[in-house]
Amino acid sequence: MLDAMGASSLEDLLRDIPAELRLGRLDLPEGLSEFETLQRIRALAGRNRVYEDRLTFRGAGVYRHFLPASVAAVMSKPQFATAYTPYQPEASQGTLQAIFEYQTAIAELTALDVANASLYDGATALAEAAVMAMSHTGRQRIAVAPYVHPEYLQVLRCYADGRGFDIVELDESMAIGPETAAVAFQQPDLLGSMIEPAGLVEAAHGQGALAIACVDPISLGMITPPGEYDADIAVGDGQQLGLPPSFGGPHLGFIACRTSLTRRLPGRLVGQAWDGKGRRGFVITLTAREQHIRREKATSNICTNHSLCALGAAVYLSYVGPDGLCRVAEAGYRNAHILQSRLTALAGVEAIRSERPFFSEFAVKVPDPVAVLERLDRAGILGGLPLGRWYPDLDRALLFCCTEVNDDDAIDQVVEVMSQS
């Protein structure tokens, strides 16, 4: 090739790089065959402990669910996995239509008008929603309800510190001040508890603020979606829609809103279009919001999002359908309520916030959380998450989670281990 192009050597092509910048040798080990590579990788994977689905009772943002085999099969189709962002619609209808279908499914799930093509995760989706609310209202304060996931709050603070807006944490009274751009709340919250959101949304609107609901997508098969209580923006994490836990990622953030906020949405939007022969197709649209057109005036800096995960979520939602989604939600709800009532009947196990309805997670106080978790672990059970890592006043609390994959036998085992105190 060098000869064909009249170059004397590769060095000749690299001549613009000053000699003092040239690296002698890249300080990494030599390459390996695929066999040796995967041997090393398997050894690393082998040093991790994998808990059985049915014996996992830990959630707090990442959940074990039944993963239909069709989801992974579609996501691994190379025509989806190895395509780029669909800039050329004629050669990208597969991705574009799949995203349009995903947008529709998320809009339906949240009962809002429009959803974007995906964001990175639930926490960055919440931060993007906050930025939308500030541009929309011209105000600089986001009020956050109690027990929003602490990592979501940390991410929101990191965005706020950069762009220069305030985060106010509300107390249980949820009183909202007049300078508020938006009230953000999680339904159910980190402790699994549910609020009656309509009152809070009304209070926000009364102050001219928007209401941002951070929701659990599985729960929406069963419980009131944001659109039904008049929230303006809904966000959340889509891991539960067919994606494996994968140590926390990649999953996806979803965001949906009412039509009046469409042009403030971050990231890509796919819309319907027609060609000259009257054929329906799909294109990336409303790009005048985006960084490659608007640069520093864009609604967000996001470019690459989580398209393939959004595809997976769309496959999942189509696989289970509306009734299946409701059954998945109901099974988690039922399991959690059965486990909670059996655990809190044990001596020394105390319910926390038992006056609140909860969905599929609940917290209990135990005399010695470390000892309890060790005993559960010996039985192969990943027990509730110790909440002391975030809330010093809950240092004896464990947050248990159930989904449809826990069964009676698994619940019996947890109760059995925890009754031996």
DSSP-derived secondary structure letter, 358: B
As measured in angstroms, the least distance from the Cβ of 170 to another protein is 20
Q: β-strands 141-144, 280-284: how paired?
A: unpaired
Between 209 and 266, name the residue whose CB sits nearer to another protein.
Answer: 266
Minimal distance, residue 126 CB to another protein, in Å: 10
Report in angstroms how near the CB of residue 317 gets to another protein at its nearest.
5
Tell how strand 397-401 and strand 385-386 pair up.
Answer: antiparallel
CA distance linking residue 298 with residue 267, whole number of Å? 9
Q: Kindly tell me which of 180 and 406 has the beta carbon lying closer to another protein.
A: 406
Contacts of 182 (CB under 8 A, 6+ apart): 129, 130, 133, 134, 137, 142, 143, 204, 209, 210, 211, 212, 232, 233
- Of 178 and 412, which has the nearer Cβ to another protein? 412
In this structure, the strands spanning 350-351 and 397-401 are: unpaired
Smallest distance, Å, CB 158 to another protein? Answer: 4
Burial class (CB in 10 A: 0-12, 13-18, 19+), 6: exposed
C-alpha angle with apex 21: 19 to 26, nearest 5 degrees?
Answer: 115
CB of 368 to another protein, least distance (A): 16
The 3-class secondary structure across 101-143, one letter per residue, is HHHHHHHHHHCCCEECCCECCHHHHHHHHHHHHHHHHCCCEEE
Burial (CB count within 10 angstroms: exposed 0-12, middle 13-18, buried 19+), residue 405: buried
104/207 with CB nearer another protein? 104
With respect to another protein, which residue has the nearer C-beta, 157 or 396?
A: 157
State the Cα–Cα distance between residues 311 and 31, nearest whole angstrom. 34
Nearer to another protein (CB atom), residue 207 or residue 327: 327
Nearer to another protein, 91 or 168 (CB): 91
Q: How far is the CB of 249 from another protein (least distance, A)?
A: 4
Number of C-beta neighbours around residue 46 at 10 A: 8
> What is the closest distance, in whole angstroms, from the C-beta atom of residue 375 to another protein in the complex?
14
Pairing of strands 141-144, 166-169: parallel
d(CA 150, CA 144): 11
Comparing CB distances to another protein, the nearer of 131 and 212 is: 131
Q: What is the closest distance, in whole angstroms, from the C-beta atom of residue 349 to another protein in the complex? A: 18
